[in-house]
Amino acid sequence: MPFSSVVLLQSDPVLTQSLMSSLCNSFRSVHIAPSLDDLRSSVAKHRADVAIVDIERASISDVHRLSSEFPGVGIVCTHRLADEEMWTEALSAGAADICPSNDTRSIITAAKRSAGMMHSAAA
């Protein structure tokens, strides 16, 4: 059974389309948010299981706020540079996982794992 919904906030339109196509196999609906405010309202409106957030579009404090505002939503962060310190900060801020932007397979796996963990915690 597919998870309900995922919302994307990404800088790269090519990656966004690739993720959207791949996520459609595991989520009933996939939504693209053009801004952080749109991400927030889409997560609430569509009762998203997962938000995939580009760290270049949202700060670490934004990730923390999202995690606090939507405790039942798995947040998967992406970034194009491998920066251990930033990645650790994102995880500490509430991200369930962080993946390189160019690794679509890892992003999809992290989204499905995050959604599964959220469903298990709710059960």
Token pair, residue 16, equals 């966004």
Angle separating helix axes 60-69 and 36-46, nearest 10 degrees: 20
**71 and 58 in contact (C-beta within 8 Å)?**
no
Q: What is the pLDDT of residue 25?
A: 87
Q: What is the pLDDT of residue 2?
A: 62
pTM of the full predicted structure? 0.90
| 64: Cβ contacts below 8 Å, ≥ 6 apart | 93, 94
Q: What is the pLDDT of residue 118?
A: 56
Read off the CATH number of the domain in which 83 is found: 3.40.50.2300
3 to 59, 82, 101: CA distances (angstroms): 27, 29, 22
7 to 19, 26, 33, 85, 101: CA distances (angstroms): 11, 13, 7, 25, 16
The one-digit pLDDT tens for each residue of the chain (123 residues) are 466 899 999 999 998 999 999 999 889 999 999 999 999 999 999 999 999 999 999 999 999 999 999 999 999 999 988 788 888 999 999 999 999 998 999 999 999 998 876 555 544
The parent domain of residue 74 ranges over: 3-122
- Number of folded domains that form the chain: 1
